Structure formats: structure tokens, C-alpha cells
């Protein structure tokens, strides 16, 4: 018998009428011949209300007790859902995270799922019940209640679909699918019929609140197609699967992380181990860091800048202050009025001019770019929070995300149950075996590689004015140069930034010439270059949420005395650039450092 997991978010169970509506939907699925597992979130704004209640007592509540408190929201809604189904004359049983056997680690407020037992669930289903599981919660080895992080019911749903090898996983919400960007910020945003796991993972972690990013990690790792759709209509929504909607388009979505903060550690002695010292202390507090950029400074010192979630700024600063003493930093600055705007697309890896188009559109609106980082499938810029909604609208428009692509691929979602898109029987067995042999949310690394074909160009002393990055990359593109990584540092105390990019080695001479011309015309200080670099990459799933990945890389390289020249992180890949002579050695070091998680 087919098995379907249906998840209902807070807005879809916000009142008794909506609960009854969700109940009827589940009953219908059962009547159509499926076993049904519902995963339910807390009603409406319950979780926010509970947080507020605690905040009225203290601003530092114990994390364990917060999880005890927050988990009650879901307990209310699963009970009401079961009552609703009974009232409609059908069998249902509600279960808490502990009753299902959702085992997690002990990191309250951000717990990771280790395993899920299926025996009790299966038995209840076989007895003809609709099983209603509380989302967002689990228990640790000592039976403490844990929660998975805001939005975590999505992760419960996809994880259940994975362990039960469900035929469909439907996420019912208040929008009718995944949009090219948040439709609340950009009304012109368009629903996509399909999006790839990698793109969704990146978008979710960069601010697209429609899905909890860790749910997409499960989808990708365990091959669960996810159907995001409206709880208020019957129309098809968006399928999150392996293949993108339009692999030929450079950008498939844009996202805003409004609540971002920047930290700069100034005048760090530029030697192996400095970044490690800083980031390992932040990681120890389980804070994920993004947009790591170094500003190559005077006399062997560098500024290291990065971003953290705004609500974790204070905690991150505590860690940074301790580290700063050890690495001999000259000062620390921070800014909690910034936002990160990102564009994401699998197609951008194979196209030129994507970054330049984004920079130009922002420059034309007079929006200053404070920092830049790129990866193979995303470009992120840091701008002032004040201008960030406008910046999002502008980049959304410049990549024509508001217009329907010429060849829409509606074919991909004719039915929510799509046996053809699932792996075959033997693969399914392999997936289940894999699930049982590991902690479900453990880190897995697919590949560790070295690209020794590139060179680096760095322009330093770049004035901090809107339009500079646009100008540089327009001129570089006009010279026919193919740029891979780009990083632009936060401006130094002197008000100038460092802009580095990588190019194929055979284009280095041409690139340096172009950079020198640009530097001269814009009044930059100097152009330096490195004819051979080693770009070391670790690829896998959910690398940014596993805060330890970058740290492991930094440690492995620092232990071998290898200095980092550039860094970029994404959900699916962390890249670091080292001196060309250190590439092979770095690769060996990384292979050893990740041997336990390499699949
Ligand atoms: P639920 O309570 O069902 O889990 P959420 O509020 O977590 O719902 O997620 C749905 C909301 O996500 C939408 O109302 C929308 O404003 C927001 N959102 C942000 N980015 C996107 C996007 N790219 N596509 C669709 N919705 C988005
Ligand atoms: N109720 C939790 C929250 O609001 C989990 C969820 O809705 O996914 O974050
Ligand atoms: Mg949600």
C-alpha cells in the first residue's frame, strides 16, 4: 500500500476550521488508498508566543527548558488534529517526538536527528490509523525533550518520509509552492514548477524561509521528492527533486537574509592558524558563519571579516574577543545593520557575466556592496539592511525571475505520487541500510578535490564606492576572461577593500593587464597575482549547517603549515585557495582529515 507523508505548517492549522480542513485532506488521501502520516506544526504563531512568554521572564532562559516549553505547541496541535479526525469518523492516533522515537543529539534549540524508530508508526498505520506526528521535536539519549530549530517540522516530515520510504512527501503551507524569491518581499516573484535539491538547499540556508534547510539535506541524501503546495487549494505546487527546472538559466532564485551581522577582526597576523583560532571558537558555540573574507593588509597583517546571524552576534563577539587576544589582532568591529542578498542557480557554473550583471544592477541603483563571496552555484553580497528589500527586488528583476521561462516544465508534476522519480527497489534497500548504519543527520562528504588550473588576481586599495565591483568585472569580461571565484573584503579602516578573483592560468597575463588598467582608472592601490594556486574543495550535503566542516579544513591545513588565501562556503561545497606549491600536500591533508565521513 502506498504511504504518504503530509506536513501542515503553523498557518495551515491556525484555527479549528483549518485543522478540520487538514484532517479532511488526510482522510481523503487514506480513502484513495494510501497509508497517511501527518506531521503537524504548532498552531499559528504559538511558537513565537511561547518565546515571548519566556522572554518576559528572562532574556537568558535555559535552553533545556525552552525546548520543554516550545515542544508543547506541537503537542497541542497533534492532539487537536487527532480529535478532528475522530470527529469525522476516522481512526487516528497522535504521537509526540518521544513516542515516535525521534532520537536526537543533546544540542537544545538546534538538535539533529540521529534516528527514528518505525515499528510503532507502522503498527498504528497497519491498524488503520492516520498517524499524526508532532513536528520539530525529539528526545536525546537521556530522555530530555529537544527541538530541531525554527521551522524544524519540515525536517521531521522529510526525515519520516525517508525512514518510511514514503511514496510522497507533501508540505502544505500558506503559499502554493516555492517562488523565485519571497513573494511577501517581491510580489512579482513567480512560482517554479520544480527546483533542484542543491538550489533549494542553498536558497533555504540563505533566507528562503519556505523550507527548513535541513529538510532538504534529508531529501537529497535519501532521495525523497518533496512536493511543496498550498493547504488551501488542490493545485500542484513545486517539486523539489534532483533536476532543476531550467538548467540552462544562470539564476533560478534569489534570497535575502535580513537578520545578518558582520564582524571584522582587524590586523590579524597573516599566518597559518589565525582563521582556525577565530572560527573554531565560534563553532564551539554552534554558530554558523558565512561570507568569510580576508582583506590583505599592510606588513603581514590582514583583516578577517565574516557574517553571523544577527541574534547570535553577541555570543559570536564573545568568542571572537577571546580569539583576538591569541592571534594578536589590532581590533574588532561589528555591524548589525546589514543584510545578505544572494542569487542561486546550478546554471551559473557554466556561464560568464552573471556576477557582473548582479553588481551592475545594484550599482545603477546606487546601492553599495560591502562584501562579496561566490561559490559555484551562488553569489552573495552584503548591503545595508535599509536598502536590502530594494536590492532583492532589483536582482530578482535583472535576472528576469519574474517572467515565465519560455519552456515551462509543468510535465514534472502531474501527480504527487511519482513512482518513476523514485529509486529502484535495490537502491531503496541500500538507502534503508545506509539510514540504519549512521546517525541520520551526520555529515557525509562526497568528494575532496584539488583544482590546480587557476591563478589569482588581487586588486587592493579599492575605494569603497557603489559601482566599483561592477566596473571591474565588466572590464574583465570585456577582455574575454573567465572568472571563477570572487571575494571582496569589507573595507579596511582606511576605507578601501581588497578584491580577489581566480582565472584560468592561461588567462593570467591578460587578467593582470586588465586589472592594472582598471586599478589605474579607479585609483586603486596595486595589483598582485599568484600564477598558480590550489583550489581545494570539499563537497557534500549541508556543509554550512555542519559548522565543523570549515574548521576541519582550516585545522588540517594549518597543521601542515599551509596558509589560506581565499575561502568560500556554500551548503554543498567549501572551497579554499592555497598557494599552488601547497596544493597536493593540502589535498592529502584533507583526505586524511575527512576519511571518517567520506562516502
Ligand atoms: P509554514 O508555517 O507552513 O511552515 P512558513 O511561514 O515557514 O510556513 O513558510 C511559508 C512562507 O515562506 C511564505 O508565506 C513566504 O512568505 C515565505 N517564503 C520565503 N521565501 C520563499 C520562497 N522562495 N518561496 C515561497 N515562499 C517563501
Ligand atoms: N513550530 C515550530 C516553529 O514555529 C516548528 C515549525 O513550525 O516548523 O518554528
Ligand atoms: Mg515553515
**Centroid of ligand 2 to alpha carbon of 311 (angstroms):** 18
Which ligand 2 atom is at minimum distance from the Cα of 148?
A: 5
Rounded Cα–Cα distance for residues 24 and 450 (Å): 54
User: Would you say the CB of residue 156 lies under 6 angstroms from ligand 2?
Assistant: no
The per-residue pLDDT for 599 is 79
Residue 48 alpha carbon, nearest atom of ligand 2:
4
Backbone angles phi, psi at 499, to 5 degrees: -120, 120
Which of 531, 487, 529, 528 lies closest to 506, judged by CA? 531
Dump pLDDT digits (tens) for 490-519.
988 888 999 999 999 999 999 999 999 999
- Atom of ligand 2 at shortest distance to CA of 41? 7
CB-side neighbour CA atoms (13 Å) of 168? 27
Pocket test for ligand 2, best of 135, 138, 145 (most atoms within 8 A of CB): 135
11 lines ligand 1 (CB under 6 A): yes
**How far apart, in Å, are the Cα atoms of 3 and each of 34, 217, 434, 536?**
5, 21, 20, 42
Q: Which atom of ligand 1 is nearest to the CA of 253?
A: 23
The answer to whether residues 581 and 532 touch, using CB atoms and an 8 Å cutoff, is: yes
Three-class SS state of 230 = strand
Query: Is the CB–ligand 1 distance for residue 209 below 6 Å?
Result: yes
| d(C-alpha 102, C-alpha 579), whole Å | 45
For ligand 1, the distance from its centroid to the CA atom of residue 551, given in whole angstroms, is 31
Q: Which residues pair with 38 in a beta bridge?
A: 6, 132
Residue corresponding to grid cell 548504519:
437
Using the mean position of ligand 3's atoms as its centre, give its distance from the Cα of residue 173 in Å.
8
Q: What number of H helices and E strands is found in the chain?
A: 17, 26
Q: Please tell me whether residue 259 adopts helix, strand or coil conformation.
A: strand
Write out the three cell numbers for 379: 553569489
DSSP code per residue over 24-50: HHHHHHHHTT-EEEEEEPPSTTHHHHH
10 CB near ligand 2 (under 6 Å) = yes
- Ligand 2 close to Cβ of residue 207 (< 6 A): no
Which ligand number lies closest to the CA of residue 77?
2
- Distance, CA of 219 to CA of 238 (rounded, Å): 14
Compute and round to an integer the Cα radius of gyration of the chain.
24
- The ligand that comes nearest to the alpha carbon of residue 156 is 2
For atom 6 of ligand 2, which residue has the closest CA? 151
**Which residue, by CA, sits nearest to atom 17 of ligand 1?**
210
Pairing of strands 137-139, 35-40: unpaired
Ligand nearest to the CA of 47: 2
Q: Is 203 exposed, middle or buried (0-12, 13-18, 19+ CB in 10 A)?
A: buried
Structural contact between residues 93 and 131, judged by C-beta atoms closer than 8 angstroms: yes
pTM: 0.92
Please state, in angstroms and rounded to a whole number, the distance separating the CA atoms of residues 44 and 61: 23
H/E stretch holding 6 reads strand 3-8
Give 224's DSSP letter.
-
Task: Tell me which residue has its CA closest to atom 9 in ligand 2.
Answer: 150
Least distant ligand from the CA of 51: 2
* Model pLDDT, residue 427: 66
Alpha helix (H) residue ranges in 223-333: 274-283, 313-327
Residue ranges of E strands in 214-271: 226-230, 238-241, 253-269
Residue 460 and residue 296 in contact, taking contact as beta carbons nearer than 8 Å: yes
Three-class secondary structure of residue 366 per DSSP: coil
The three three-digit cell numbers of residue 154, written as one number: 519540515
Low-confidence ranges of the chain (pLDDT < 50): 408-425
At residue 415, the pLDDT reads 32
Q: What is the pLDDT of residue 535?
A: 96
Q: In which element (H, E) is residue 339 found?
A: strand 331-344
Residue 210 in contact with ligand 1 by CB distance below 6 A: yes
pLDDT confidence of residue 298 = 64
Contact yes or no for 35/96 (Cβ under 8 A):
no
- The three grid cell numbers given for residue 284, joined into one nine-digit string: 564551539
Enumerate residues 6+ apart whose C-beta is below 8 A from 71: 96, 97, 134, 136, 137, 145, 147
- Three-state secondary structure of 406-441: CCCCHHHHCCCCCHHHCCCHHHHHHHHHHHHCCCCC
How far is Cα 438 from Cα 36, in angstroms, rounded to an integer? 26
How far is 239 from 243, CA to CA, in rounded Å? 10
220 by DSSP, 3-state: which? helix
CA distance 587 to 376: 19
> Are residues 402 and 188 in contact, defined by beta-carbon separation less than 8 angstroms?
yes
Amino acid at each position: 500500500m502506498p504511504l504518504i507523508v503530509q506536513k501542515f505548517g503553523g498557518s495551515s492549522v491556525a484555527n479549528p476550521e483549518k485543522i478540520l480542513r487538514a484532517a479532511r485532506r488526510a482522510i481523503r488521501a487514506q480513502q484513495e488508498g494510501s497509508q497517511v502520516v501527518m506531521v503537524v506544526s504548532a498552531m499559528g504563531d504559538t511558537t513565537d508566543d511561547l518565546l515571548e512568554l519566556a522572554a518576559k521572564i528572562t532574556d537568558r532562559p535555559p535552553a533545556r527548558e525552552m525546548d520543554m516549553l516550545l515542544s508543547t505547541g506541537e503537542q497541542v496541535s497533534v492532539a487537536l488534529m487527532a480529535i478532528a479526525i475522530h470527529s469525522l469518523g476516522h481512526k487516528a492516533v497522535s504521537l509526540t517526538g518521544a513516542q515516535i522515537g525521534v532520537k536526537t543529539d543533546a544540542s537544545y534549540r538546534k538538535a539533529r536527528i540521529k534516528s527514528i524508530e518505525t515499528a510503532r508508526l507502522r503498527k498504528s498505520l497497519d491498524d488503520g490509523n492516520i498517524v499524526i506526528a508532532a513536528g520539530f521535536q525529539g528526545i536525546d539519549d537521556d530522555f530530555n525533550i529537544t527541538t530541531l530549530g525554527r521551522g524544524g517540522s519540515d525536517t521531521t516530515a522529510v526525515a519520516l518520509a525517508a525512514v518510511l520510504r514514503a511514496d510522497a512527501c507533501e508540505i502544505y503551507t500558506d503559499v502554493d509552492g516555492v517562488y523565485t524569491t519571497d513573494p511577501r518581499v517581491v510580489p512579482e516573484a513567480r512560482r517554479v514548477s520544480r527546483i533542484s535539491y542543491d538550489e533549494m538547499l542553498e536558497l533555504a540556508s540563505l533566507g528562503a524561509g519556505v523550507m527548513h534547510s535541513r529538510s532538504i539535506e534529508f531529501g537529497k541524501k535519501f532521495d525523497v521528492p518533496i512536493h511543496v503546495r498550498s493547504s488551501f487549494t488542490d493545485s500542484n505546487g513545486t517539486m523539489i527533486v534532483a533536476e532543476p527546472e531550467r538548467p540552462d538559466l544562470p539564476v533560478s532564485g534569489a534570497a535575502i537574509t535580513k537578520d545578518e551581522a558582520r564582524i571584522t577582526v582587524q590586523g590579524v597576523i597573516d599566518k597559518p592558524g589565525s582563521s582556525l583560532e577565530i572560527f573554531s571558537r565560534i563553532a564551539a558555540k554552534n554558530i554558523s558563519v558565512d561570507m568569510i573574507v580576508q582583506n590583505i593588509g599592510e606588513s603581514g597583517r590582514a583583516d578577517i571579516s565574516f557574517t553571523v546571524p544577527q541574534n547570535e552576534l553577541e555570543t559570536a563577539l564573545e568568542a571572537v574577543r577571546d580569539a583576538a587576544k591569541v592571534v594578536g589582532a589590532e581590533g574588532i568591529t561589528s555591524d548589525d545593520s546589514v543584510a545578505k542578498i544572494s542569487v542561486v542557480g546550478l546554471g551559473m557554473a557554466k556561464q560568464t557575466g552573471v556576477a557582473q550583471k548582479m553588481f551592475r544592477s545594484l550599482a545603477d541603483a546606487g546601492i553599495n556592496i560591502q562584501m562579496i563571496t561566490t561559490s559555484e552555484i551562488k553569489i552573495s553580497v552584503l548591503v545595508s539592511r535599509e536598502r536590502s528589500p530594494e536590492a532583492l527586488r532589483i536582482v530578482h528583476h535583472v535576472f528576469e525571475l519574474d517572467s515565465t521561462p519560455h519552456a515551462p516544465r509543468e510535465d514534472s508534476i502531474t501527480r504527487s505520487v511519482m513512482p518513476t522519480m523514485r529509486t529502484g527497489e535495490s537502491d531503496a534497500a541500500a538507502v534503508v541500510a545506509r539510514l540504519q548504519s549512521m546517525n541520520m543527520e551526520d555529515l557525509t562528504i562526497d568528494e575532496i578535490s584539488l583544482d590546480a588550473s587557476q591563478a589569482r588576481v588581487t586588486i587592493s586599495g579599492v575605494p569603497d564606492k557603489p559601482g566599483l565591483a561592477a566596473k571591474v568585472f565588466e572590464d574583465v569580461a570585456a577582455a574575454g576572461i573567465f572568472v571563477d571565484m570572487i571575494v571582496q573584503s569589507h573595507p579596511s579602516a582606511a576605507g578601501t577593500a581588497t578584491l580577489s578573483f581566480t582565472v584560468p592560468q592561461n588567462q593570467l597575463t591578460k587578467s593582470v593587464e586588465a586589472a592594472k588598467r582598471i586599478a589605474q582608472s579607479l585609483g586603486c592601490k596595486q595589483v598582485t597575482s599568484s600564477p598558480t594556486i590550489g583550489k581545494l574543495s570539499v563537497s557534500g550535503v549541508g556543509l554550512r549547517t555542519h559548522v565543523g566542516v570549515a574548521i576541519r579544513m582550516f585545522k588540517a591545513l594549518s597543521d601542515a603549515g599551509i596558509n589560506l588565501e581565499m575561502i568560500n562556503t556554500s551548503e554543498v561545497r567549501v572551497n579554499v585557495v592555497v598557494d599552488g606549491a601547497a596544493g597536493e600536500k593540502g589535498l592529502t591533508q584533507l583526505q586524511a582529515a575527512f576519511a571518517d565521513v567520506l562516502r
